[in-house]
Amino acid sequence: MNAAPPGGAEESLLLAAFIGLLIVRRAVLQLRGAPLSTARLVGYALLYPLLFALVAGLESLPLLPLWSLGVDVAAAAVGAWAAVSYVERTVVVYSEGGRWMYRLGLVVPLVYVGLFLGRLALELAVGIDPFAPSITALSATNTLLLEVVDALFGFSTGMAVGRNVGVYRAWQRRLAPSTPAPLRSEPS
């Protein structure tokens, strides 16, 4: 009995495992306390949309109508908006050994990983191989499923970007000098 995945799926699984390990490593680091710098926050805020563009854009765009890209971008905007407000309320920004750090729960990374893996599972179920030439057409059901999963992946990508924006905004508030209380005016 051969338990190997269908042809070309090994590369998809290896890519997913690599990306998954990076995300899990980052999630654990955030849970324990991650170093805080503008360069890191900007770097990761650029990395997640790049991954989305590589995984969803290059594979789905030839198969899905162009308007679906607008749906994915809108889903990413909603995810970013939701994450910014959530992260600003829950992130803990602190100084440790003269270095700024932050702690954050696992909600955003778990959603991101779950939706990324869900998309990969759908690709394998539908028969899309990201390393093979694109197929020219999908059934209507598979097209709809692929668009729904791309939109969810867009939402999770927005959440990942929004997480970094939320951390940055909370950090900037922490750095802002506290305003002194106004002086009481004495009656003359």
Note the pLDDT tens digit of each residue in 107-125.
Answer: 877 777 777 777 777 777 7
Name residue 100's beta-bridge partners.
Answer: 95
Say what the pTM is.
Answer: 0.76
Contacts of 13 (CB under 8 A, 6+ apart): 5, 120
**Helix-then-strand count for the chain, H and E:** 6, 3
Is residue 130's pLDDT more than 70? no
CA distance 18 to 42: 21
pLDDT above 90 as % of the chain: 27
* pLDDT tens track for 67-105: 888 888 999 999 999 999 999 999 999 999 999 999 988
Q: What is the pLDDT of residue 181?
A: 60
Tell me the chain's radius of gyration from C-alpha atoms.
21
Measured distance CA(93)–CA(22) in Å, rounded: 22
What are the DSSP E strand ranges found in 36-180?
Answer: 92-96, 99-103
Distance CA 83, CA 159 (A): 5
What is residue 41's predicted lDDT score, i.e. its pLDDT?
A: 92
State whether the Cα torsion 63-69-74-78 is positive or negative.
Answer: positive
Query: Is residue 2 over pLDDT 50?
Result: no
What is the identity of the amino acid at 172?
Answer: Q
Q: Is residue 134 over pLDDT 80? A: no
